[in-house]
Amino acid sequence: MSNVYDFSANSLDGKPVALRDYSGKVLLIVNTASKCGFTPQYEGLEALYQKYRAQGLTVLGFPCNQFGAQEPGSASEIGSFCQKNYGVSFPLFEKIDVNGDGAHPLYRWLKSSAKGLLGSEAIKWNFTKFLVDRQGNVVDRFAPTTKPEDLKTNVEALL
């Protein structure tokens, strides 16, 4: 695969979404969880989305239960939690695996395109973030500890 637009994933309500639908957008792709110490980052992700979406930013959330079983809920529970507690309006997708043999193809590609600490491809925890430019190329990878508000400069540079 040559860029992010070559992939598809199912939305939280189970409908297939071709990522080429986001062609020409700057994307912030994040593996999320509802019962994690980093869960409050949903608020910052939504704030980034609201601030920059008119300029072309889209945040894409991919719930994942691989880290401490911190995303145990069903799709409807995840959607309800995110909307009720954080007002999330950016697109959320079905729960996926980001590591291992069952890792979603998008995440296999993201990890190989932007390696983590010491060249590792593995996602270490929830709320790892990938920033993708308007051409569908991964520009950077950010650790879970990187707060969404700390990405403003990086996002603005691509808009």
Per-residue pLDDT tens over the stretch 78-103: 999 999 999 999 999 999 999 999 99
Unique residue bearing structure tokens 């695996």: 97
Question: Hey, which CATH number is domain 4-158, 3.40.50.150, 3.90.1150.10, 3.40.30.10, 3.20.20.140?
Answer: 3.40.30.10
Per-domain boundaries in the chain: 4-158
Q: Would you call 28 exposed, middle or buried from its count of C-beta atoms within 10 A (0-12, 13-18, 19+)?
A: buried
pLDDT of res. 57 = 98
At residue 61, φ and ψ (nearest 5 deg) are -100, 130
Q: What is the CA radius of gyration of the chain?
A: 14
**CA pair distance 26, 59, nearest whole angstrom:** 8
Could you list the active site residues?
A: 36
Q: In this structure, is the dihedral angle defined by the CA atoms of residues 22, 26, 31 and 34, taken in order, positive or negative? A: negative
Rounded to an integer, what distance in angstroms lies between the CA atom of residue 65 and that of residue 17? 21
pTM of model > 0.85: yes
pLDDT digits (tens, 9 = 90+) for 15-32: 999 999 999 999 999 999
CA distance 26 to 154: 11
| Average pLDDT score over residue span 115-127 | 83
